[in-house]
Structure 1
């Protein structure tokens, strides 16, 4: 797997469909040089305000998905 540096510039939208959450963003993507000592992992960098917005949007989408499931299948609830 080739590692990348991903810099999030703007969150455009977030939606869920058929068990997947899709986030539309504007981002800069650059190949990351391989290092001998570390594992080859990609890194996502985003400003704090984008991270907070992303967290809020994810919580909203997950809450909507939770409403669609029968009560007996909802996680963390009796």
Structure 2
């Protein structure tokens, strides 16, 4: 697996597709990241607090859209 450091510069758009995936159009700096010995290799996603707040707002909108398209249960089960 290749690992990267991904620094979000700007979120440009978000959308949901028919496969239940949420897509983000972003400007980002992407650089290879060398795994540290003894630690499982992972990619790192970096963003400012402001971009994190934009991400949260975009997620809320997209998840609400996805939820609105799901069929309602006719049985009305609770619990």
Report TM bin, short chain.
Answer: 0.7 to 0.9
Question: Where does structure 1 differ by over 6 angstroms across 4 or more consecutive aligned residues?
Answer: none
Is the contact made by 2:35 and 2:42 (CA closer than 8 Å) also made in structure 1?
Answer: no
TM-score (norm 1): 0.88
Q: Secondary structure at the match of 1:39?
A: coil
Separation (CA, whole Å) in 1 of partners of 2:52 and 2:28: 14
* Other-structure match for 1:17: 17
TM-score (norm 2): 0.87
Aligned length: 75
In structure 1, runs of 5+ residues without a counterpart are: none
In structure 2, runs of 5+ residues without a counterpart are: none
Structure possessing the higher radius of gyration over alpha carbons: 2
Q: Determine which structure has the larger helix proportion and give its number.
A: 1
Separation (CA, whole Å) in 1 of partners of 2:58 and 2:36: 34
